Every structure is written in C-alpha cells, then in structure tokens.
Amino acid sequence: DADVTQTPRNRITKTGKRIMLECSQTKGHDRMYWYRQDPGLGLRLIYYSFDVKDINKGEISDGYSVSRQAQAKFSLSLESAIPNQTALYFCATSDFRDRANEQYFGPGTRLTVT
Amino acid sequence: GESVGLHLPTLSVQEGDNSIINCAYSNSASDYFIWYKQESGKGPQFIIDIRSNMDKRQGQRVTVLLNKTVKHLSLQIAATQPGDSAVYFCAETWGAQKLVFGQGTRLTINP
C-alpha cells in the first residue's frame, strides 16, 4: 500500500463550487504539505502543517484553506473554485528529525475547473 | 527573494551516455540541496541530497556536485537508461522548514 494517498485522483468541477482534496499518510510523519504544480512552474507550496495544531501559509495560499484532522490526515479546500486553480495538486510528508527535510509525495490529484 | 532555477528546461541524451542536469540557486543560507525525480503521472521521488558543507556526494549511478562559489548544483546520471526519463527538480531547504523547488528539467533518452 502507498505511504501517502490522495483522493480523488482526478476531479472536474465548475467555477464557484467548493471542493476538498484529501491526503492520508501511514508514514507516521508529523509534517504535511500541500503543493500545486503548473506546467513550467515546478511545485509551489500552498500550506504546510508541522503538527496537528500548527498550520502555516505557503507562497500561494490565497483561495485555499486546509484542515489537519489528525496526524495522518491533511485536507485542502477550494472554497469557490476558479479556472486558474486548474492544476496538479500534491500532498507530501516529512519527518521533523530529518535535517534535509526529505519529503515523500503522494500520487497527485489532477483538478480541472471549468 | 530566494529562488532556485534551472539552466535548461529539456535535455536529450543517448541511452548509455552520461547526463548532467544543472541548477542555480540564490539563497546562501540553504543548508541542504535535494534532487527529485518525477515520472509521468507520479509524484516527485527523492534521489539524493547534499549538505551545504559538502562539494560532492555519490549514490547509485548518480552524483551531485555543489559549487557554493557560483551557487550551482548539478546532478550527474551515469550510463543513462530508458527508466531515467523523467522531469528532474532541484530543491533547497534551510532550517528544515520547507523546500523551495526549481522549475524542473525534462530528461529524454534516445535509443
């Protein structure tokens, strides 16, 4: 079984709809991240959480919100989806003890907003 | 601001040749640099990292070189194989807080 799972894997939604992307991990890591990937722009950090009570904005948090329901679960919400939020979304985890901050990524969710 | 960038967006090499993927960074405070590989339809996977106090680190068929004088990082892949086809990202981190990724280089292997 995969260590980091994301649901759904693909989603098409309409402008203005609320949508939630979910991430679960079995690695026992305390740190979790949400990234967005657009063609030619690499991965950009949306939000990150260092433990259940810690939530931090990344470089592109506007239009997104997150919830850390448990150590193993971190969800990303788009309150009112817009077409320029069409992208590939990745969840990642890391161990606070790892100075190199190696991150383990999920398989991604491809989101299309029409 | 801090940024990590790549010199070339695409790289094509012959199977069996060595590949060199380059990366420039701007944050002198970064204490680790990491290379990730992303295959089509998958999330990025860790390849190798290097601490800022090192110049070179070797793994299985891969070598990372760090030149702090010119703020340059490279990933060398020996005897490139079809399975090496992917997008490669460099990333930097400081204080184990978060990673900053470059744009990525697509490596294509010619038979």
Say whether residue B31 is in contact with chain A using an 8 A CB cutoff: yes
Residue B34: other Cβ atoms inside 10 A: 23
Q: Cβ contact (<8 Å) for A43 and B43?
A: no
Cα four-point dihedral sign A13, A17, A21, A22: negative
Could you read off the pLDDT of B45-69 as tens digits, one per residue? 999 999 999 999 999 999 999 999 9
Helix (DSSP H) and strand (DSSP E) numbers for chain A: 0, 11
Examine the pLDDT at A21 and tell me if it is beyond 70: yes
Q: Cβ contact (<8 Å) for A107 and B96?
A: no
pLDDT, position A100: 76
Whole-angstrom distance, CA of residue A4 vs CA of residue A19 = 20
Q: Cβ contact (<8 Å) for A40 and B103?
A: yes
pLDDT band at B7 (very low <50, low <70, confident <90, very high): very low
Nearest CA in chain B to A89: B43
Could you read off the pLDDT of A72-109 as tens digits, one per residue? 999 999 999 999 999 999 999 998 888 777 899 999 99
Could you read off the pLDDT of B69-83 as tens digits, one per residue? 999 999 999 999 999
Mutation choice for A interface testing from B8, B10, B101 by most A CBs within 10 A:
B101
**Chain A nearest C-alpha distance from B96 (Å):** 5
Say whether residue B45 is in contact with chain A using an 8 A CB cutoff: yes
DSSP letter string over B5-30?
E-S-SEEEEETTS-EEEEEEE--TT-
Helix (H) or strand (E) holding A82: none
Examine the pLDDT at B18 and tell me if it is beyond 80: yes
Residue carrying the six token digits 């697509």: B106
Whole-angstrom distance, CA of residue B30 vs CA of residue A112 = 35
